[in-house]
Every structure is written in structure tokens, then in C-alpha cells.
Amino acid sequence: MRCNTHRSVLLVTLGLTIQALAQSPPPAMSLDIEQVALFKNGLGFFTGQITCPAGQAQLQIALPAAPAHGTLWISYPAEIEMASVIAKEVESDQTQDAITIPELLQANVGHSARIAMGEREITGVITYFARNRQDSQDRWYPARPLGPETRIYDPRTPQQPAALVTIQTDSGLVGIDPRSVTSVTFTGSPAEQKVPRPVRQTVLDVRLNRAADGRRLAVTFLAKGVTWAPSYLVDITEDGKAHISAKALVINDACELKDVAAQLVTGFPHLQFADILSPIGLRETLAQFLQSLNRGAEMPRGRAAAIITQNVMYGGGGMAGPEYGAAEVGAVAEDLFLYPAGKIDLDRGQVAYVPLFTEPVPCEHIYQWDLPDYVDEAGRYFYSRDRDPQAEEEQEVWHNLRLTNATAVPWTTAPGQTVRAGAILGQDTLKYTPPGGTAILRITRAVGVKVEQIELETSRKREAIRMYGDTFDQITVRGDLSILNTQNKAITLEITKTLSGEVKSTDPAAKEEKLAKGLGRMNGLSKLTWTIELPPATERRVNYVYEVYVRR
């Protein structure tokens, strides 16, 4: 009879164990990141897949990063019947080296120890190490204020951090504050050096109407923490041609990337809610999300921080959801260009150096001297080095390169370093240049080209006109420019002069452009351009005359 009873208890226990195992959720599966498209402002468009396990209609997908609002999508073949997807947090224990006595006590729960607290000493078995309580405050419905006489525990009030360890001694259970322990000696088995560290992770609990053995789900989302920083090297050792090299630094603070195809995105896309975390990432409360959403709705549509997305077609067929994913290699997706950077292997906190290309392009050396307008919007003329400390800097000639993009890819805005025969000549910003376009890259100041400018008043008609309640004089101004090339080589100098008023004459003849900028000003704006060939050790003079209305 007793044997049957034991057998019945064993069968019941076994049945309950099998039932508990059947009801326990499956372990979280890591998303297999296959591709990431990198933007220069710290966001990446991730494309990953997960394989449905055989015989299971439930799976959990661990999210490697917090998605931006509205960007997480799950795509699946039409034959998969999706029942529900719920985001939740799961907790797992990882280990790390103990670095304090309290952490050493926590790592050795169940071990015998002799614990010293100043002159007091306790010997026994460590039975318990308390953890901090989880905040359970209701942010939408705060607790009713309690009277001063109330002494009950309210779980919605801020709590003190945990500070309790229990020791089972021969005389009973003793509770101590682990922060007061000065030394500990373990008297039994060897002490553990690793302390458990609870880690909370967001997972997607996916439930299917029936098992989809071996079928794959595609997950795409936009997330912060990964970017690329381009730069260029322009080698002008060979005359008449430049060899431009491009590289990218891929910076990863988002998640582990193993054998992931990287694409570098050039262009100016727009996404209004890129700075708002998706609720499915479980990083914010409902109140915080709604506040962020309100701020996102008020963002200017052209704000630089919100230019982070693209729509590209996923290569698989038969998907029931939105089809996002990999674009073709080096393809144009609408107004974006996706440059392939190959496969990368990066842990969090690592940076990869990725060479992109080296190609010869047409190159032209050009010297530029830009002269500003000396009449402001109020119609006041100023040209005095005493009153304008920037006037000295305005008399600068710059040695530049005019580069023609003869490659098949656009050049994105990035630092451009110029070298000749292995020596660095200068560095400046190479601006965005599409294929077939031209870009100006500064090298250095041209100290071998001496320039001077002076403007003189040649006539004045006082109180020539009265408008808007103000009186204006009409002044005729003559400008004289002097250029001396002290170098032993011929140069091409491009001079630009912006001025207010009406141009009367130029010598030599300049290209004149009427500018629409400042249409509400009293005087119109014009831009004069001279292109002058200067042989070695040669001086040239340029002059111009214009009339302008100046406020009295």
C-alpha cells in the first residue's frame, strides 16, 4: 500500500513537472542581423531574420536595440499564421567579478564564512542577500496622501536601497548590513569570485496559430548607436589629375554585429520621429512616450536630427507584411545612395576602418580672392580696417582644387586632406558632390600671391532721394585691385566681388550676375567675377565703378 502511495506521488509530481515545462515560455532567440544601413547622424536601419523552431507555435525574439517609433516591422510569408506579438521584459543573470565585500558576500550565498564587523565577529552560513525593490509607482494614478500618523508600508513611495544579509549561526538567524563588514573568511568550500548581475532584456513574444517549422521571419527597425564617419585623401602628385581615396570609420555602440553586410547611406532623408523611442522597446513609461510624441509632432520638418530613414525593397517573396530590407549593391533608392562596405564584425564599443575606393579624377588648380559687399542692409557704407577687424582677413587669396567627380558614386560631405608626394598640404571640407559635378577643396592660403584693394568716392549727389522716411545720397565709387604673382609658376586667379548698387564699368570686363538676395534692400545686389591668367612674377590691376544709394 505504501509502495502504491509513493508511486502515485511520483506520478503526480512528474505530471506537474511536465505540465510546468510545457507551459514555460521558450528561451529568447537572438535576432540574426544580416544587414545594416548606416546614416551619418548616429542611426542605423537594421535587417534581421529568425528561423521558427520545429514543432513550436511560440517563440521569443530578443531585440538587440531600442527601435525608433514607427520603424519596427515584422515580415513573414503568407503561409505563416500570426496570432499575436507582445513585447515584454525578461530577466536573466549574468556574472561579473566581485569588486567589493558586499558583492563577495552576494556571490557566496550558501557558503560558510567568518564575518568581521569591527571588533564583532559572526560565524555561520550566508543564507540570503537582499536585492533592491523594483519601483512599482503608478505614474498615472498617484497614491492618496497619507496622514502624519500613518506608518504602513506603501509600495508606491521611494524606497531605500537593499542593505541586508542573513547569516545562519548556531544561536539563530542573524541579519547584518553588508556595508559594515570589514573582512570575511570562508571556512568551507572555495569562495566564488563571480557575482550574479540581473539583466533585463526586451523580447517579442510571438505566437502562431500553428508551428511554422523552418520558416523565417524578417524584422527591420531603425535604432540609434551606430554610424559611419567618411573622409577623403586627395593626392595631387600627378600633374593635371588627382587620385581621390575614400574611407569610412564605422562606429558601433548599438549591438553585436557579426558577419553583417554594411551599407553607407549618402543623402538627406527625413523621418520626423527618429528621436522618439518605440513603445515596443519598453524603454519608457506611457507618460514619457506621450510627452516625447508631443515634442516630435512639434519638430520642424527640416530638422537635421530627423533625417534618418529610407524605404527599400526586401529581396524575398510572399511576405504578408511590409517589405523592407536590402537594396541592390551600390543602388540608388529614391534620392539616397547606398554604398556597399562589405561584411563587418564589430562588438559594442568597437570602430572599424573600412577602405572604400581610390580613383583618378580631373583636377584643376585655381586661386580665389573673394571680396565682400561694403554696404549693409540698412544702406550704410563701411570700409575701414579700424572699424572692421575682419577687413585684414578679407584680403586673402586661397589656393584651391576644382575636382570633377568622374566616379560612379556621389561624394558625401566629409573632411578632405590634400597631399603631394607623401607630404600633407592642407585639409578642408569636401562638400556633397554628385557624379559629374564639381567641388572646390581648399588647400592653403596662397602667400605667394600679394593682393591689395581700395575703394574711393569719386562723386556724391547729396539728398538724391528720399524714401521710407529716410534721405539717401547717391555716391559713385571706384574700386582698384592690385594683384602680384611672386611665384615662379603661372596661375589662374578667380576674383569675385559682391556689391550693392548699379555697376557702371569694369576693366577688364567682368561677368556680372544680378542676385535675388536682399530684394527688400534699397540697393540691388550684383556679383562680379574675373578670371585672370597670371604669368610668373607678373602684376595686374583691375578696377570697377558703381553707383550706390547710402543712408545719411
Residue 296 has a pLDDT of 62
- Range in 365-369, 457-461, 520-524 the model is least confident about: 520-524
Mean pLDDT over residues 451-455, rounded? Answer: 92
At 335, the pLDDT band (50, 70, 90 cuts) reads: low
pLDDT at 542 over 70: yes
Mean pLDDT over residues 315-333, rounded? Answer: 36
Do strands 82-97 and 73-75 pair parallel, antiparallel, or not at all (unpaired)? Answer: unpaired
pTM above 0.75, yes or no: no
Residue 17 has a pLDDT of 40
pLDDT at 377 over 70: yes
Residue 505 has a pLDDT of 95
Residue 20 has a pLDDT of 39
SS3 of 396-424: CEEEEEEEECCCCCCECCEEEEEEECCEE
Most confident residue range from 143-147, 399-403, 407-411, 520-524: 399-403
Task: Report all structural domains of the chain as residue ranges with CATH numbers, in order of start.
Answer: 99-192 (2.30.30.520), 358-551 (no CATH)
Total number of residues shown for the chain: 552
Residue 520 has a pLDDT of 67
Annotate 317-352 with DSSP letters as a single string: S-BSS--B-PPPTT-EETTEEEEEEEEEEE-TTEEE
Residue 183 has a pLDDT of 93
At 95, the pLDDT band (50, 70, 90 cuts) reads: confident
Mean pLDDT over residues 284-299, rounded? Answer: 73
**Which among 71, 412, 34, 40 is positioned nearest to 226, based on CA atoms?**
40
In angstroms, the Cα distances linking 17 to 23, 92, 178 are 10, 21, 37
Distance separating alpha carbons of residues 258 and 104, to the nearest angstrom: 34
Name which residue leads in pLDDT, 4 or 322.
Answer: 4
pLDDT at 323 over 50: no
pLDDT at 504 over 50: yes
- β partners of residue 114: 123, 185
pLDDT at 389 over 70: no
Residue 34 has a pLDDT of 93
Amino acid at 314: Y
**Which among 401, 317, 371 is positioned nearest to 500, based on CA atoms?**
371
Distance separating alpha carbons of residues 524 and 522, to the nearest angstrom: 7
At 343, the pLDDT band (50, 70, 90 cuts) reads: very high
Mean pLDDT over the full length of the chain:
81
Task: Name every residue whose Cβ is closer than 8 Å to that of residue 99 and which is 6 or more positions away in sequence.
Answer: none
Model pLDDT for residues 408-424, shown as the tens digit of each residue:
888 989 999 999 998 99
Cα end-to-end distance, the chain, whole Å: 121
Residue 385 has a pLDDT of 46
306: left (phi over 0), alpha (psi -120 to 50) or beta: alpha
pLDDT at 426 over 60: yes
- Range in 395-399, 416-420, 478-482, 506-510 the model is least confident about: 395-399
Residue 276 has a pLDDT of 86
Distance separating alpha carbons of residues 473 and 521, to the nearest angstrom: 15
pLDDT at 146 over 70: no
Give the dihedral sign, CA 327/332/335/339: positive
Residue 136 has a pLDDT of 52
pLDDT at 236 over 90: yes
pLDDT at 387 over 50: no
- Range in 17-21, 209-213, 238-242 the model is least confident about: 17-21
List the Cα angle 391/396/399 in 5-degree steps: 160
Distance separating alpha carbons of residues 16 and 14, to the nearest angstrom: 5
Name which residue leads in pLDDT, 154 or 129.
Answer: 129
Of the chain, the percentage scoring pLDDT greater than 70 comes to 80
Residue 383 has a pLDDT of 64
pLDDT at 8 over 90: no
* CB-CB contact of 73 with 46 (8 Å): no
List the Cα angle 20/24/28 in 5-degree steps: 160
- Range in 138-142, 476-480, 494-498 the model is least confident about: 138-142
At 123, the pLDDT band (50, 70, 90 cuts) reads: very high
Cell of 30: 537572438
Cell of 95: 556574472
Name which residue leads in pLDDT, 394 or 35.
Answer: 35
Sole residue written with cell 539728398: 463
Most confident residue range from 69-83, 125-139, 220-234: 220-234
Residue 269 has a pLDDT of 66
Residue 116 has a pLDDT of 94
At 293, the pLDDT band (50, 70, 90 cuts) reads: confident
